[in-house]
């Protein structure tokens, strides 16, 4: 979708579909939009609503995925070691939450068995390549989200994908040239600093 507030996804199973949207809560609150309305709009505009007419609904749910926790948040208390979503370990750029949840869960298990104090556990989290990448990305993400750069970036990528799907190579080039001054230098500096 072109609205920077929303990312949509769809998984296909043998006899069912899982469709959903993700959106930052701040944007929804500021614009007084209910999440179920965004989902309905997504289903309508993508034509999915029409396709699934007459089929039964198996599951309908919502979940908050906390971001922006680790390394600022506490990683536990006493012999309790927090991991995964509980310390906001979702990759802010790729939204990969499973990899860091498994990585931090493994380290939390080790910390519990070896009775590490929280500082040692935190140090081990920071040393893990996946987790330290997320901590690094978080600082850059705040910068990237400022001034709606992220919205422009999402629009650029979806426009390029639309051109690609239509076999329109000039469309891809035109999108890149059109956005070159606004976004590409920022993206390059972003990628360089991630190294």
**What residues line the site for ligand FAD (CB under 6 A)?**
20, 63, 65, 84-86, 90, 96-98, 101
Minimum CB–partner distance for residue 183 and ligand FAD (Å): 25
CB 128 within 8 A of CB 174: no
Which CB, 4 or 97, lies closer to ligand FAD?
A: 97
Cα–Cα distance between 186 and 21 in angstroms, integer? 27
Whether the bond into 71 is cis, omega within 30 of 0: yes
Which CB, 3 or 85, lies closer to ligand FAD?
A: 85
CB 154 within 8 A of CB 4: yes
Which CB, 138 or 179, lies closer to ligand FAD?
A: 138
Minimum CB–partner distance for residue 72 and ligand FAD (Å): 17
Minimum CB–partner distance for residue 144 and ligand FAD (Å): 20
Cα torsion through 72, 30, 10, 92, rounded to 10:
-20
Minimum CB–partner distance for residue 93 and ligand FAD (Å): 12
Which CB, 63 or 181, lies closer to ligand FAD?
A: 63
Query: DSSP character for 167?
Result: T
The angle at the Cα of 139, spanning 186 to 92, to the nearest 5 degrees, equals 85
């Amino acid at each position: 979708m072109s609205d920077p507030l929303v990312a949509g996804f769809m998984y296909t199973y043998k006899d069912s579909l899982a469709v959903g949207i993700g959106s930052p809560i701040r944007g929804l609150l500021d614009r007084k939009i209910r999440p179920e309305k965004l989902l309905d709009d997504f289903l309508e505009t993508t034509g999915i609503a029409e396709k699934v007419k007459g089929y039964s609904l198996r599951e309908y749910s919502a979940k908050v995925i906390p971001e922006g926790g680790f390394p600022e948040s506490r990683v536990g208390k006493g012999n309790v070691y927090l991991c995964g979503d509980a310390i906001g370990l979702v990759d802010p750029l790729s939204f990969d939450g499973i990899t860091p949840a498994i990585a931090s869960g493994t380290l939390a298990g080790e910390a519990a068995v070896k009775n590490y104090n929280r500082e040692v556990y935190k140090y081990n989290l920071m040393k893990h390549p996946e987790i330290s990448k997320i901590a690094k990305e978080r600082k850059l993400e705040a910068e990237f989200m400022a001034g709606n750069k992220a919205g422009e970036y999402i629009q650029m990528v979806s426009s390029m994908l639309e051109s690609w799907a239509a076999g329109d190579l000039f469309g891809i080039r035109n999108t890149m040239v059109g956005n070159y001054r606004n976004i590409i230098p920022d993206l390059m500096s972003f990628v360089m600093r991630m190294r």
